[in-house]
Structure 1
Amino acid sequence: MDKISILSKYMPAAAAPLVAKWIDYFKCEFKVSRNRNSKFGDYRHPFAGKGHRISVNYDLNPYAFLITTVHEFAHLQTWNEHKNQVKPHGTEWKANFKLMMRRFFDLKIFPFDVERAIIQYLENPAASSCSDLNLFRVLKKYDQKVSNAITVEKLAANTLFSTKNGRVFKKLGLVRKRYQCLEVKTGLMYLFNPLAEVYPVSA
């Protein structure tokens, strides 16, 4: 199966030809990855005989998958221009992300609410789209719904919940924009995005 057909399974079909061109042009290894709770995507620069490598989580909705893909290609372009001489999410990366993202506006890919949220996000893009709660909320409307899942922000304090991989946590307080949660088994503290989907656990 050709790249465009494969990419069309994960992102809006109209975006797939351009992303396929980027993969060929940059000679990039592009991988659809398993779910990673800590990140949506990843970029690795050439090292030890390996070229550019990008991976994006398979279970993102098509719009989130595309935005994450562009995010990582912006890292690739920034590395080609500056190597390791600039900050990972500094002004150079932000400029490349904005430029590459706008290519997809011309294709009329995004629903109005998603496009508007992206435009607001592009005013000062952060390290991850999930750190912009407005964009993250809009994107989550297009996720496939899981019947018994609930977002962390909707849980009462001290409620127990589990993640997809079965780890159990207790919700504590809000620390800046994220919720501090105690992993019951290890006693370690973790920060959760308010919109992370989890599963309530009976005490």
Structure 2
Amino acid sequence: MREILSKYIPEMAVTPCLEMIKLNHVHLKIVNERVTRHGDYRKLPDGSHQITVNANLNKYRFLITLVHEIAHLVAFTKYGRLIKPHGQEWKYTFQQLMLPFIRPEVFPSSLLPVLARHFKNPKASSDTDAYLSVALKEFDPQNNKNYIFELPIGSVFRIHNGKVFKRGNKRVKRYECVEVNTGRVYLFQPNAEVELIND
């Protein structure tokens, strides 16, 4: 397991992650990319705990996702299964489990202040924190995608499922975009990654 983990997370995080995995009896599965999520946790019918994490994540996002999912397991075990999945108990647990990793031996110095800000009140996904999402993307392999906030108003773009939209105005935090085929208006997070067709 050490050899496998060291391919996916920063070297200085391998030993503490292995200890967390063993302590909580986690069956870790590294899976192909799922567009809708980076990872998930579930308790299996035999009582064992399975965590899946997408193989295509950069090592910093992989580490955050792995600890995020272990935090679900630990919070459910400690506080019971009736707590909200991303409620106060989970947030507190996630903060406590991440604390030992938020240091320069594990994360690049450019990420540390963004992580410190994020973990004051962690979100349900690193993607819903636009600052963290953009900071983490710096460590992804280059791709042909843009963020919604980078596109000029009126740009036409495609999302992962092939649907085509036209970018509109920003509301408070999200962007109004019109689906070209139906005329329906959808709201997009500023850090949604899309493929620009034309501007």
**Which TM-score tier does this pair reach, normalised by the shorter chain?**
0.7 to 0.9
CA contact (8 A) 2:103 2:112 kept: no
Q: Does 1:199 align with 2:195?
A: yes
Cα offset for 1:70?
0.9
Question: Counterparts of 2:68 and 2:44 in 1: how far apart (Å)?
Answer: 20
Unaligned runs of 5+ in 2: none
Residue 93 of structure 2: aligned partner: 96
What percent of counterpart residues are identical? 38
Cα offset for 1:116?
1.5
Q: Does 1:174 align with 2:170?
A: yes
Residue 123 of structure 2: aligned partner: 126
Unaligned runs of 5+ in 1: none
Q: Which of 44, 55, 59 is the equivalent residue of 2:52?
A: 55
SS in 1 for 2:124: coil
SS in 2 for 1:200: strand
SS in 2 for 1:130: helix
Residue 148 of structure 2: aligned partner: 152
Cα offset for 1:194?
1.5
Q: In the superposition, relative to structure 1, how do residues 28 and 191 fare at CA in structure 2: closer, same or farther (>3 Å)?
A: farther
Question: Counterparts of 1:156 and 1:165 in 2: how far apart (Å)?
Answer: 22
Cα offset for 1:165?
4.8
Q: Render the CA deviation track for 1:153-182: whole Å, top value 9, x for unaligned.
A: 111233221234544333233343222334
Question: Counterparts of 1:172 and 1:26 in 2: how far apart (Å)?
Answer: 46
Q: Does 1:74 align with 2:71?
A: yes
Q: Which of 141, 154, 172 is the equivalent residue of 2:138?
A: 141
Q: In the superposition, relative to structure 1, how do residues 188 and 12 fare at CA in structure 2: closer, same or farther (>3 Å)?
A: farther
CA contact (8 A) 1:14 1:107 kept: no
CA contact (8 A) 1:15 1:107 kept: no
Question: Counterparts of 1:18 and 1:123 in 2: how far apart (Å)?
Answer: 22
Question: Counterparts of 1:182 and 1:49 in 2: how far apart (Å)?
Answer: 46
CA contact (8 A) 2:27 2:49 kept: yes
Listed as ranges, the matches of 1:3-14 within 5 Å are 3-14=1-12
Residue 161 of structure 1: aligned partner: 157
SS in 1 for 2:8: coil
Q: Which of 83, 89, 112 is the equivalent residue of 1:115?
A: 112
User: Aligned-residue CA RMSD in angstroms?
Assistant: 2.4
Q: In the superposition, relative to structure 1, how do residues 192 and 77 fare at CA in structure 2: closer, same or farther (>3 Å)?
A: same
Q: TM-score, normalised by structure 2?
A: 0.86
SS in 2 for 1:8: helix
Residue 62 of structure 2: aligned partner: 65
Higher mean displacement: 189-198 or 117-126:
189-198
Question: Counterparts of 1:65 and 1:134 in 2: how far apart (Å)?
Answer: 17
